[in-house]
Amino acid sequence: MEPALRETVTQREQSMVLNDVNMLYHIYATVPPKTQRLMLELQRDNHVEYLLRGLQHLGPSFCSLDAKICCKPFFWHITLCRPWICYWILHSIALLGESVDATLEDKTIDFLSCCQDPDGGYGGGPGQMPHLATTYAAVNALISLGGDRSLTSINRDKMYMFLKRMKDPSGAFRMHDAGEIDVRACYTAVSVARILNILDDELVHNIGNYILSCQTYEGGISGEPGSEAHGGYTFCGLAAMILINEADRLDLPALIDWVVFRQGVEGGFQGRTNKLVDGCYSFWQGGIFALLQRFHSIIGERPTLVDAGGADCSIDSIQTTAESDLSEDEESSDGTSSQDDEACHFQHGGSQEASCSVNDKSAEMGPLYHSIALQRYILICSQDPGGGLKDKPRKPKDYYHTCYCLSGLSVCQHSWLKDEDSSPLPRAVLGPYSNVLEPIHPVFNIVLDRYQEAHEFFTRS
């Protein structure tokens, strides 16, 4: 008799997550319709209160956060938190359509100015070494605030010199002086340079070759050559290639296939193969589809979905299947969208396969993600009704996951729009239509109107 296979730690953890998620979905399916609508409602006021509470403690108390908050190795380090916290909070507030008062705005600008190094770039706090990750966070935070005082506080001349110092002879960038070289350094450097209108041929030189060397056999992009494909690095790699107009050099069909199969049966995304679902990848993985759908320069024209039977599945023809008590393809009197499923969504989850043909290349891009399932995961499994969002059930809420869960929710609601100034269709929004967030510029993850203000400001200055 063959010995029984031992369950691995990952398998046990996956079973726990599935049980937690299934329990929440079962509760949702069995409660009265009014309670269902409440479970699918974005708790805006509570989220804003939670975020403002965090931003109002930018003084000495933030020192204690240096070694406590930052636990994600992808973008930051334990000493690099404070500009990130400013960005996560300010961007989340902007996504919710709110703003901070003048006093708090001035304090935030003053604090970030103290983090700006005399020789360019931003450190994790006053007097700390400038670092590309916190430079990206500080610049995005200041743009999220908006206004002349915020934007003029960025020393662009010194910033350009800092970016030049971080440029490696290989073409890639280092995160800091004598620091590591990886794809996030390339993205943060190019993102900052592009939005500040200081990107030139010298900064762009050979970045594309480095990022190409990081695309793995799986189709995703790793942090450095020879490493495992990762959702955060895949977003960074693709976004950087878009910014330097070299996205068509990537194997896009393979990239799409890898990303789409990171969406699990829970509805959310995992960051790597055989890893657990995590709410932050709602943006890092889900945002990749927004990049491909919005930026025509990547593929020449907008992708057209074709289902397994050959029918057009573009946004205008997607039909929804209601799984709730609401009538099909209509909006209820309380503003709750009737959509609870889509005809065109990913195959491994028990649904119909869709493929994406790309202009004259006729390349199959693989199935697109299930937007409604992702929104369901964010609202039911990641949302803390008292304010803030989190990784998954049993995890605590934090500003990082609040930022990227809300960014992912915005992407779900807006990414299929042909006109970025249009409002989402009710069937694209799960829950009441009041759930709709502000649209973002998916390359920079900045609310669209704040991006436009910064773009105009730095173009004329």
Report, as residue numbers or ranges, the catalytic residues: 230, 272, 275, 278, 280-281, 391, 398, 401
SS3 248: helix
Tokens 């360019």 belong to residue: 120
Encoded amino acid at 303, one letter: P
Tokens of 294: 């919005």
Q: Are 374 and 269 in contact (CB under 8 A)?
A: yes
Q: Are 399 and 54 in contact (CB under 8 A)?
A: yes
Q: How far is CA 288 from CA 131, 256, 281, 402, 435, in A?
A: 25, 8, 10, 19, 22
Tokens of 123: 């450190």
Tokens of 10: 């990952």
Residues 6+ apart with CB under 8 A from 414: 290, 420, 424, 439, 440
d(CA 294, CA 408): 15
Q: How far is CA 108 from CA 112, 114, 127, 309, in A?
A: 6, 10, 16, 54
Q: How many CB atoms lie within 10 A of CB 311?
A: 14
Q: How far is CA 16 from CA 13, 20, 337, 349, 446, in A?
A: 5, 6, 31, 19, 34
Tokens of 58: 């930018």
Among residues 293, 274, 271, the alpha carbon closest in space to that of 283 is found at 271
